[in-house]
Amino acid sequence: MSEQQQEQRPDLPLDVFAAFCPSREVFAELADKWSLLILASLHRLGEQRFSELQRSVSGVSRKMLTQSVRTLERDGLVLRTVHPEVPPRVVYGLLPLGRGLAERVVTIGDWVEANSPAVIAARAGFDEGRGTACEVA
C-alpha cells in the first residue's frame, strides 16, 4: 500500500552516463537491436500479434522476441493482451510511455536508412586504406 513512489531526489541527476545510475540500467536494457526494432515496428504498423511481430521484425528468433517484448511490457512501454481463444491470440501494442520513446527510435531508423550508403562507403574506404597499407608493407 502507500504508493512508495520514491520522489527522485533532484540531487541525483539521473545520468545515463553514470554506470551506477538507474537510468543507465534502463538505457542499457533498451539499447539493443531487437528492443529498438520492436518499438519501431509497433510504431509503424500499430498493434501486432506475436507472429506478425516476428514477421515484421525479420530475423528475430521466437526466444528473443518473447524476451524483449516481456521486458518492454514490464517497463510499461508495451501492452500485451491475451485473447483466450483457440488457437491463442496475443496482441502487442504501444502504451503512451512507449510511444514517446518509439517516436525517437524511428528517427534513428530513418537516419540509418538514409545514411547507410554513406556508412557503407566509409567502411569500404577504411578497409581499402587498411588493406592497401598492409599490402604495401
Partner DNA sequence: CTGCCCTGGTAACCAATAGAGACTTGGTCT
Partner DNA sequence: AGACCAAGTCTCTATTGGTTACCAGGGCAG
CA distances from 33 to 5, 10, 12, 53, 125 (A): 31, 32, 29, 14, 26
Residue 26 binds which one of a copy of itself, DNA, none, with CB within 5 to 8 A depending on kind? a copy of itself
Q: Which amino acid is at 44?
A: R
Residue 90 binds which one of DNA, a copy of itself, none, with CB within 5 to 8 A depending on kind? DNA
Verify cis geometry, omega within 30 degrees of 0, for the bond prior to 96: no
The Cα 137–Cα 132 span in angstroms is 8
Residue from 34, 94, 98, 105 binding DNA (CB under 7 A)? 34
- Least separation in angstroms between residue 87's CB and a copy of itself is 24
When the beta carbons of 83 and 110 are compared against a copy of itself, the nearer one is: 110
Residue 12 binds which one of DNA, a copy of itself, none, with CB within 5 to 8 A depending on kind? none
Question: Binders of DNA among 52-91, rule CB under 7 A?
Answer: 52, 60-64, 66-67, 70, 80, 82, 86-90
The residues near 37 (Cβ < 8 Å, ≥ 6 apart) are 57, 60, 109
